[in-house]
Structure 1
Amino acid sequence: MGDSLSAAYGIEQEQGWVSLLAERLDGDAQVVNASISGETTSGGAQRFADIIGQRQPDIVLLELGGNDGLRGLPPAQMRANLATMIEQSQQAGAEVLLLGIDIPPNYGQAYRDAFTGVYHSLAQEYELSLVPFLLEDIALNQQLMQSDGIHPTADAQPIILDNVWPALEPMLEETYQASSQ
C-alpha cells in the first residue's frame, strides 16, 4: 500500500521494486500492489478497509506519507491516518512493515523531524518493523533519481528492494512457518 514510490512512477511497471519483490519471491507468496501515484495517507486510509477485506493479507507493506509531506500537511494527521491502517491490518491478523520516507531539507528541520518522527513513534507504539528511509543510498544520488528529483529511476529499484528486504525477509519466514504447521 503506497504512493508513486511503490507504483513505479515514471518507469515500466515491471521495473518497479514491488514487481522485483514478486520476482524474488518466485510464486512463494502473492504480491498485490495497491499503490497509487499521488496517494496521501488520507486517501490510503479511505481505500484501506476495502483492500484488507478483499485481499486478507498476511503482511502489509505500508509506504505512505511522502505526498503528505510534500504538501506540508500536519504530521499529526499523517500519523492518525497511518495508525488507522496499522490497526485495521492488525485487527485482520496481518503483520505490518512500515516503510518510512523523508522530505527535502527546504521544508525546515522542525517539520522534517516531526515528519520522520511519525514513522519511528508508530513503529515503537505498535511494535512494527520499520525501514526508516525507503530511499536510503538513492535520494541524494542524482544518477538514481528521475529529473524531478523526487522519484527514483529504474536503476534504483533493486536498491529499494534491498533496503526493504532485511526487514521483510524474517516476516516472510515467520508467516511461511506459521502456515506450514
Structure 2
Amino acid sequence: MDIVGDSGATGYGVVDPHNGWVAKMRLAMPNTRINNYAHDGAMVSDFLPGGRWPDTTDAVRRIGVDQPSLVFIELGGNEYYIDRDPAQYKANLETLTQNIWQVSPRSTIVYETIWPFDPRQSTSMHSWDEYGAAMQQLAVEYSAGWIDLRQFFPPHYADDTYTHLLNTDQIHPTDAGNVVEYTAVLNIINRC
C-alpha cells in the first residue's frame, strides 16, 4: 500500500507519532508494506513533474517500483487553503492518477477527501465542497475508491463537542482525529 498525501497523512499535529493514521495502519497491518510519500504542505502538482520537492516528484516512479495493490491519494487541502481553482485541482489529480496507473496499472486507487476547515483569506472564492466534488467525479469516472471524511469531521464551528478532532490551528487533526481517519481507511481496506 502506498500513500500520496499532504500533512494530513504525515501525522503533522499529533502529540504521539504512533497516533498518526498511517502509523496506526502500520501497527494494525504488520505484514503489509506501507510506503508513505506524503509531504507537509504538498499539493497534487508537487507529485507531478516540476513539483517543489524531489521526494514528491519521485513518488510516482517509486510507486512503479513498489507495484502496490492500493494507492491512497489524500490531497487537496493545500489547494483549498490557497484557493487554487478546483478545475485545475481536478486536472492535476487526473494527471497524477493516470501517471500512477501508467507505472503501476494493477494498483487500485482510493481517493480521500479530507475534513472541512476554515482559516483562509476572507477573499477566497471556492468552497471545500467544490474540491470534494472534483475528487468524487474522478472516483466515479475511474471506478476508484473514495473515502469522504467530511461525514466524520463536522465543521469545527458547528458544535464545540467536535473541536477535539482538530488542533488549535483548526486544520490538522489531533490524535483523536487521526484515529477517526485510521478507522475510516481501515474500514475500506477490510471491505476489499
Whether TM-score is above 0.5 comes out as yes
Q: Percent identity?
A: 25
Q: Matches of 2:150 and 2:188 in 1, distance apart?
A: 11
TM score, norm. by length of structure 2: 0.79
Q: Matches of 1:15 and 1:65 in 2, distance apart?
A: 22
Two-structure CA RMSD over aligned residues (Å): 2.2
Match of 2:48, SS?
Answer: helix
- Contact 1:134–1:160 (8 Å) recurs in 2: no
TM score, norm. by length of structure 1: 0.83
- Contact 2:116–2:155 (8 Å) recurs in 1: no
Equivalent runs, 1:74-93 vs 2, <5 Å: 74-91=85-102, 92=104, 93=106
Q: Matches of 1:102 and 1:13 in 2, distance apart?
A: 20
Instruction: Report the alpha carbon displacement of residue 115 of structure 1 after superposing the two structures with TM.
Output: 1.6
- Counterparts in 2 of 1:151 and 1:139: CA distance versus 1, 3 Å: farther
Structure 2 residues not aligned, in runs of 5+: 50-56, 157-161
Which of these residues, 63, 82, 95, is aligned with residue 108 of structure 2?
A: 95
Indicate the structure with greater helix content.
Answer: 1
1:39-72 Cα shifts (integer Å, max 9, x gaps): 0110023424222223222210110111001110
Instruction: Report the alpha carbon displacement of residue 129 of structure 1 after superposing the two structures with TM.
Output: 1.0
Q: Matches of 2:129 and 2:33 in 1, distance apart?
A: 35
Instruction: Report the alpha carbon displacement of residue 102 of structure 1 after superposing the two structures with TM.
Output: 4.7
Which of these residues, 32, 37, 43, is aligned with residue 35 of structure 2?
A: 32
Q: Does 1:22 align with 2:35?
A: no
1:116-151 Cα shifts (integer Å, max 9, x gaps): 211110111000110022672365321121110100
Name the structure 2 match of 1:43: 46
Q: Matches of 1:143 and 1:81 in 2, distance apart?
A: 33
- Counterparts in 2 of 1:170 and 1:132: CA distance versus 1, 3 Å: same
Q: Does 1:62 align with 2:83?
A: no
Quick one: which amino acid aligns to residue 30 of structure 2? D
- Contact 2:116–2:150 (8 Å) recurs in 1: no
Which of these residues, 177, 180, 185, is aligned with residue 156 of structure 1?
A: 177
Match of 1:148, SS?
Answer: coil
Indicate the structure with greater strand content.
Answer: 2
Structure 1 residues not aligned, in runs of 5+: 172-181
